[in-house]
Amino acid sequence: MSDVNESLVTPLVTTETTDEQASRQGKGSVSDVRSLVVQLIGELPNGWGRLLGAVALSVAATGASVALLAVSAWLLSYAAEHPPALYLLVAATAVRTFGTTRGVFRYFERIVSHDVALRMQSALRMNVYDRLARTTLLGARRGDLLIRVTADVESIMDVIVRVALPFASASIVLLGTSIILGFFDFWSAAALLVCSVLAGIVLPLIAQRMSARTDASSVPARADLAQVVHASARATTDIVAYGRVEQQLAQVAEADARLRAAESKAAWTQGLAAGSQLFIMGVAVAAALVLGGHAVATGAMPGRELAVLALTPLALNESFADLAKAAQTMTHASTALRRIIELLTAPPVGVGDRVVEPVQPAETGSESDVAPAEPEAPSASAVLELDGLAIGWPNNPVIVDDLSLTVKPGQAVAVTGPSGIGKTTLAATVLGLIPPRAGELDVAPSVGYLAQDAHIFTTTISENVRIGNPFASEDDVVEALRRAGLPYLAPERIVGEDGNTLSGGEARRVALARILVISPRPALTLLDEPTEHLDAETAQKLMDDIWATTLPEGAMLVLTHDPGVVARCDREVKLGE
C-alpha cells in the first residue's frame, strides 16, 4: 500500500509575505507549558482581564460557600441563647444572601472561565493546524496525531478550569478566612491555616508526585490505544480476510490494559489523598474545639463563636476536595501540552501545501456568470526536470539517487519498480512535501496528485470535489464530475464515512474530479497506482477518462505496477536499475 492516504491536489492558497510567515512561525516558538499558556492568554482580546475576572468570580463563589456555613453556625449558636429577634436579622439576611449569591457567582464563573478556556483551546488548535499545514504528514501515526489535535489540545481547558482556578480561589479564600478567624481566636486560626495548607496544597502536591509517572504515562497510553483502534478500523476487511482477528483484538486489549492500569493507580492515589484531606481537616475541627474551648473557658471569646471556629474547616474542606485531582490533572495536562509543543517546535518536513495564486470568482455577478479559466497552454519547456536527483525521507538513508528525468507537456511517463523502491517518495519529493536529498528538481508551480487511496470526507460530493479548488462554482463541480465519468452523481449527495457509500471506482473518480476542477488546469498530474484495487473493466474506463481529460494540455507522471498502464505511457523509467 502507498504511504500516502490523502488526495493532495494542489490546494489553492494565497501567497504569504515573509513577515506573515515569520509571524505565524513565531506563534509556535514555545519551550514549556507555562510559556505556552502565557502566550495563548496574550493572544486573546483582553485575555488577562478575562482570566482575572474568572478568578474573582471563583473566589466570590467559594467565599460565599464558606461564609454561608460560618454565618449559619454563628446564627444557630447565638439563637440558642434566645436573644431578641432583632439581633438575628442581619445574620439571617446574610445567610440568605450567601446561599443565593454562591450559585450566581458560580454560574457566571463557569461562563467566564469556560469562555477563556475555549478561546485558548481554539487559538491553540488553529496554531496546530497552521503548523501541520506547513509540514508533511506522510508516514505519521494517524491515531496518535488525532489524539494530539483533539484530546491533547483540549488539555489547555483543564489547566484553566480544573487546575488554575480551583487552586487560586482556594488559596485566596483560605488566606482571607484565616485572617478573619484570627480576630476570633489567633491560635485556632493558626491551626486552621496549618491544617488547610497541608490538606489543600501540600497533600495534593504529594499525591501528584506519587502518581506523576503513572499520570504522565496515561497520555501516550491513550494515544497508543487510539492508534491501534484507528489502524484496526481502517484495515478491518484485510484483518478478517487474512484471519488475524484474534491477534488484532489482542493488541487492542493489551493497549487498553496499559491505559486502565495507569488510570487505576492514579485513582487509588487520588482516593488516598481525599481520605487524608478529610482526616487533616478533622484534626482542624478538633484543634478548633480544643483551642477555641480554652478561649471560651478563659473568657477571651464568647461561646457562640466557638461554633464558627469548629464548622468553618468543614466548609473549607469542600473547596479542597478536588485539589488532589486537580494536581494530578495538571500532570496529565502538562504531558499532553508538551506533546503539542513537540508538534509546534519540530523541524518542518517539506513545505506542506504548495502555494499558487488562486483564481477567484469576480466580486460582481453570480457564480454562473463567471467564465472558467482557460487551461494552461502547452509549451515546449519541460514541466518536470530531474537532474541527478537523490530522494529519501529526512533523517533516513537515501532510497534512490542519480535520477534524471524530463517530462514535457503532452507526455505521459511511467515510473515502475518493486514495492518499497521509492515511487511514493519520489511523488512526495516532486510535490514538495519532502526536500530532495541531492541533485536538481525543477517542477511546474501547479501540480495535481491522484493518490492511491485518496480520502473521501464525510460530507457532500460537492465539498469533496472543492478540495481541489475552494472557489469552484456549482457549475464547475458538475462539469468536473461529468469529465470524471460521474454525470449521474448529485453534488449535494452526502458521502458516508471514508466514502463507504461509493464504489471503489466512484471514489477514485471523485478524487479525479478534484484535479479536473482546478482552474487553470495543472501543468503536471501525478498518478499513484491509479488502477490499484479496481477490476479490469473499471480500471480500463478510468484510464481512458484520465488520458482524455489530462492530455494533451498537461503532462503525467504515473507511478504504477500495472503493465496495461505502462503500455499507455510514452516511456518507462525503472527505479532501482
Q: What is the mean pLDDT of residues 498-504?
A: 79
Intrachain domains 18-345 and 384-574 with the same fold: no
Q: Which fold has domain 384-574?
A: Rossmann fold (3.40.50)
Q: What is the mean pLDDT of residues 490-503?
A: 83
Range among 143-147, 481-485, 500-504 rated most confident: 481-485
For residue 257, pLDDT beyond 80: yes
203 vs 27, higher pLDDT: 203
For residue 21, pLDDT beyond 50: no
Using only C-alpha atoms, the chain has a radius of gyration, in whole angstroms, of 33
Residues, the chain: 577
The residue among 479, 455, 391, 457 whose CA lies nearest residue 429 is 391
Residue 140: per-residue pLDDT: 59
CA-to-CA separations, 113 to 53, 69, 80, 122, in angstroms, rounded? 8, 25, 42, 14
Window from 12-21, 30-39, 156-165, 242-251 with minimum mean pLDDT: 12-21
The residue among 394, 421, 391, 419 whose CA lies nearest residue 405 is 391
Q: Does domain 18-345 have CATH number 1.20.1560.10?
A: yes
Tell me the C-alpha distance between 215 and 263, whole Å. 7
Confidence of residue 352 (pLDDT cuts 50, 70, 90): low
Range among 120-124, 396-400, 446-450, 537-541 rated most confident: 120-124
Q: What is the mean pLDDT of residues 471-475?
A: 91
Tell me the C-alpha distance between 350 and 340, whole Å. 20
CA-to-CA separations, 161 to 111, 128, 154, in angstroms, rounded? 11, 21, 11
For residue 359, pLDDT beyond 80: no
Non-local CB neighbours of 203 within 8 Å, separated by 6+ positions: 273, 276, 277, 280, 324
352 vs 531, higher pLDDT: 531
pLDDT single digits (tens) 115-156 = 999 999 999 999 888 888 777 765 556 667 777 888 889 889
Tell me the C-alpha distance between 242 and 63, whole Å. 63
Tell me the C-alpha distance between 69 and 65, whole Å. 7
Residue 368: per-residue pLDDT: 38
Confidence of residue 351 (pLDDT cuts 50, 70, 90): low
Whether the Cβ atoms of residue 526 and residue 431 lie closer than 8 Å to each other: yes
Tell me the C-alpha distance between 62 and 166, whole Å. 9
Confidence of residue 23 (pLDDT cuts 50, 70, 90): very low
Residue 528's identity, in one-letter code, is D
For residue 217, pLDDT beyond 90: no
Q: What is the mean pLDDT of residues 378-395?
A: 80
Q: What is the mean pLDDT of residues 489-511?
A: 84
Percent of the chain with pLDDT over 90: 31
Tell me the C-alpha distance between 551 and 562, whole Å. 20
pLDDT single digits (tens) 526-561 = 998 888 877 888 888 888 888 888 877 789 999 998
Domain residue ranges in the chain: 18-345, 384-574
The residue among 553, 555, 480, 467 whose CA lies nearest residue 13 is 467
pLDDT single digits (tens) 278-334 = 899 889 999 999 999 888 888 888 888 899 999 999 888 888 878 888 888 888 888
Window from 5-9, 68-72, 130-134, 198-202 with minimum mean pLDDT: 5-9
DSSP category for residue 409: T
The string over 349-364, giving b where at least 16 C-beta atoms fall within 10 Å of a residue's C-beta and e elsewhere, is bbbbbbbbeeeeeeee
Tell me the C-alpha distance between 80 and 76, whole Å. 6
- Residue 406: phi, psi to the nearest 5? -130, 130
Confidence of residue 364 (pLDDT cuts 50, 70, 90): very low
DSSP category for residue 486: -
DSSP category for residue 443: E
Residue 118: per-residue pLDDT: 94
216 vs 330, higher pLDDT: 330
From the CB of residue 262, how many other CB atoms can be counted at a distance below 10 Å?
21
Strand partners, 558: 414, 527
Q: H helices then E strands: how many in the chain?
A: 20, 8
For residue 361, pLDDT beyond 90: no
- Helical segments of 134-184, H only: 142-147, 153-157, 165-182
